[in-house]
Amino acid sequence: MSKQKINAAQKHKLLDLLSSKPQLRSGKFSITFSHKDAQKEWEEIARVLNSIPGANKDWKAWRKTWQDYMSKTKIKSAAINKVRSNTGGGPPPPNPLD
């Protein structure tokens, strides 16, 4: 599948779907949550997201999209914390996390 940008509706739905799946969000497997379980959940998430007009991706691409969002969020959070720890006050960081 080609690399496609997701729209706002798909992004919000992705966040909504993953908000109730802490094991899937963390990506950590256990006796009760295996790689096959995660794959089944990602396949279901892909089915739901692909039903929304916009990007059409397989489950691996949706998982990568989630991982990319998490990575960007962590980088942004670290930058905000760095600005906050500077001395001298000043205005708040320009881009709060959304």
> For 31-74, how does the pLDDT look when each residue is reduced to its tens digit (9 = 90+)?
888 999 999 999 999 999 999 999 999 999 999 999 998 899 88
Q: Which residue range forms the structural domain that includes residue 67?
A: 34-81
Asked if residue 1 is part of any domain, the answer here is no
- Amino acid (one-letter) located at 1: M
Within-domain flag for 72 = yes
Q: What is the mean pLDDT of the chain?
A: 86
Asked whether the whole model's pTM tops 0.85, one would answer no
Q: Confirm whether 2 is domain-assigned.
A: no
In this structure, the dihedral spanned by the alpha carbons of residues 20, 60, 65 and 47, taken in order and rounded to 10 degrees, is -60
Domain count for the chain, please give it. 1
The answer to whether residue 77 sits within a structural domain is yes
